[in-house]
Structure 1
Amino acid sequence: MFRAALELSAIAVLLVEDILKQQSLKKRKRRIRRNRTKWFHMLEELITPIIQRENTNYRDCISVGTRLMVTLRFLATGETFRSLSYQFRVGVSTIRQFVPETCTAIYEVLKEKYLKCPDTVEEWQQVADGFQAQWDFPNCLDALDGKHINIRPPPGTGSTYFNYKHTFSIVLMALVDSNYKFLYVDVGCNGRISDGGVFGGCSLQDALENRTFNIPAPAPFPASDQAVCYHIVADEAFPLKEYLMKPYPNRRLAVEQRIFNYRLSRARRVVENAFGILANRFRVFLTTINIQDTAKVEAIVLACCALHNFLRTENCSTYMVRVVDQEGPDHGTVPGSWRQDPDLRQATLPPTTNNPARAKHHRDELCQYFNGIGAVPFQWDKI
């Protein structure tokens, strides 16, 4: 009798715990739903003055909320316009027209606050402090890389947009800070050009060459008294410059050079993660965007980048759950879920040969620092 009572009591406890878990889950879902509603209405209010249409005597216009809902659905899933037409009971040609318009409006209202490149010494210093604190890479301003956006080639362009992956694309070139936010984006260059070529033709390179970005003056590394200039980290596809660091060529490397490559890769992977998160959450990038007007495709890409920064800044609790790479207790990389999809991985282009002597000297200084007073205990186990 006593044993049966204990079993009933244990069952009752388990039922109570299960009910509490379900209630907690329901509360969490309600909280997430409220937050999503809040962000949706925030966007709706911001873009209403730009895309609001007036009713006529013949019919009512499509509301801003419907336009935004259809556009976000398209960006998040990559569904065809015909599929969206069946879901929302809106004409295919109408959706094809207002989706790029809504994307342009989203970018216009968000770019000044959420997609703004630093333009003062203090703002750049905050970015560099983030890389030093999170990735142990001093005087690092950003991580730079490019991503191919698959498109339908415009008529009469031949192989202009045909890339080395054997698809047609335009290139998204981006600078990313230590918190996976885009600070600078350039989109629209045809996919036939390499990442280094895209960088050479964008406004970023001109600003860095002409020193119009208000980048901080050279400063010493932590625990060092030798002043070293600030720089961006990138992969082998880019030219080596004083302000642009890339790995040593992977041929007969010394231990010290392999340490440098590891430390640079550790800081540079934030841009790969940012692209992976972007494509994982805005899955239109996993498809071929079925629009032949590249200007409209550019508007879609810019809107996604602005929305990415918007959700990161507003602390959306579900946006980056289990997506981004993490570091385990031994500082080993725990891959994020975006790396499980081969379509999201970035291929590496052949290395370039532009290696000025001063840039090489700067890279050697960084290499010496990482193998000396700037070493971290776990780096020796990673090579």
Structure 2
Amino acid sequence: MSFVDFEYLLNKISPLISKQDTDFRDAIPAKYRLAITLRFIASGDSYKSLHYLFKVSPQIISKVIPEVCNAINQVLRDEIKMPSTKDAWINIEKGYRRKFPHCLGSIDGKHIVIENPPHSGTEYFNYKKTFSIVLLALVDANYKFIFADIGCQGRISDSGVFNNSLLWQKISRNEIDFPTPCPLPGSNIDVPYVFIGDGAFALSEHVMKPYPGQHNVGSPKRIFNQNLSKARVVVENTFGVLTSVFRIYRRPIDLDPSTVSHITMTCVLIHNFLRKNSPERYTPPGTFDVIDGNGQLITPGSWRNYNSCYNAI
């Protein structure tokens, strides 16, 4: 995060987190409260480690971090917003068009690993043999979240989380202003616009998934699955950036699940905030795969050759 972005965020949340000095001690300045919180989510340090770094007691830090996260969630809540018009959805589709036409976003779930909450039994126990809550996310082609549902128990599958989410409710009630179905290139059959996911999701009019099973190389189903995977990997890459930058996710989080949900929402909002304001600093060139002018997928390891070809052109 740049100094400019830090100051912008500090000015936004200062009225919400600033405290008055008392006769016995000075209040912790807002900039220190924000710095402690950002350090916590960026490093995953324990409260005790932060105590030695900032000279603030672990007990105070345990109160500061949730308070600052709630303030950030409040001032940055508009960073995640689903399109409300057909034209806005079409703008998202343009980013996916060369990979998978009529795609309005890539959807997937990520397990946020936590320590087993007291007296919860197997409520949060998932198929990976860990305890977790689920982050269900819809991501656009610019690696930004356009929908996030956080907090469902890890024992529930991605499809189950999706079926209980606000997104599916809006789809079922026809409350999303989807673009009007139209033919794909080279066809005259109207095809609806869809969200794409992996095999865990159920196929429906506006949710597309791969063909199940193994298919011969070069077969239409194999080609379809490959193209869908190229587009769906966007959400996987976004999760990868989130866990690489916010290293709090590198180990189980020993906090209450509701607190972890608020912290995760903070990370998601800051991710979108930095992708919009400082994309080159937050995700330097070479972070993501790209598609060249010939439709070939260029991986970060191939950037040197790609740049050489680009300069030659």
TM-score when scaled to structure 1? Answer: 0.75
Match of 1:45 in 2: 11
Equivalent positions of 1:16-27 (< 5 A) are: none
Match of 1:250 in 2: 213
Q: Could you tell me whether the CA contact under 8 Å between 1:277 and 1:324 is conserved in 2?
A: no
The AA in structure 2 aligned to 1:51 is: I
Match of 2:274 in 1: 311
1:266 counterpart SS class: helix
The AA in structure 1 aligned to 2:120 is: T
Unaligned runs of 5+ in 1: 1-34, 337-383
Q: Could you tell me whether the CA contact under 8 Å between 2:201 and 2:209 is conserved in 1?
A: yes
Q: Could you tell me whether the CA contact under 8 Å between 2:99 and 2:228 is conserved in 1?
A: no
Q: Could you tell me whether the CA contact under 8 Å between 1:148 and 1:169 is conserved in 2?
A: yes
Q: CA deviation at 1:103?
A: 1.0
Q: CA deviation at 1:186?
A: 0.1
The one of 74, 83, 87 aligned to 1:118 = 83
TM-score when scaled to structure 2? Answer: 0.91
Q: Could you tell me whether the CA contact under 8 Å between 1:107 and 1:303 is conserved in 2?
A: yes
The AA in structure 1 aligned to 2:93 is: A
Match of 1:64 in 2: 30
Match of 1:27 in 2: none
The one of 32, 47, 58 aligned to 1:92 = 58
Q: CA deviation at 1:256?
A: 0.6
Match of 2:258 in 1: 295
When the two chains are superposed, the root-mean-square deviation of aligned CA atoms in Å is: 1.7
Between the aligned residues of both structures, percent identity stands at: 43
The structure carrying a bigger helix percent of its residues is 1
Unaligned runs of 5+ in 2: 302-313
Match of 1:127 in 2: 92
Q: CA deviation at 1:77?
A: 0.8
Cα deviation code 1:324-369 (max 9, x no counterpart): 2345788245258xxxxxxxxxxxxxxxxxxxxxxxxxxxxxxxxx
Structure 1 residues 331 and 162: alpha-carbon distance in aligned structure 2, compared to 1, 3 A threshold: same
Structure 1 residues 43 and 79: alpha-carbon distance in aligned structure 2, compared to 1, 3 A threshold: same
Match of 1:343 in 2: none
Match of 2:47 in 1: 81
The structure with the largest alpha-carbon Rg is 1
The AA in structure 1 aligned to 2:143 is: Y
1:216 counterpart SS class: coil
Aligned equivalents of 1:68, 1:225: Cα separation in 2:
55
Match of 2:310 in 1: none
Aligned equivalents of 1:103, 1:115: Cα separation in 2:
16
Aligned equivalents of 1:125, 1:43: Cα separation in 2:
31
Q: Could you tell me whether the CA contact under 8 Å between 1:180 and 1:274 is conserved in 2?
A: yes
Aligned equivalents of 2:108, 2:238: Cα separation in 1:
10
Equivalent positions of 1:1-383 (< 5 A) are: 36-112=2-78, 114-132=79-97, 135-253=98-216, 255-291=219-255, 293-321=256-284, 322-327=286-291, 331-332=296-297, 334=299
Match of 1:354 in 2: none
Cα deviation code 1:233-265 (max 9, x no counterpart): 100111111111110012345701000001100
Match of 1:29 in 2: none
2:104 counterpart SS class: strand
Q: CA deviation at 1:178?
A: 0.5
Cα deviation code 1:91-111 (max 9, x no counterpart): 001111111111111111111
The AA in structure 2 aligned to 1:310 is: F
Q: CA deviation at 1:49?
A: 1.5
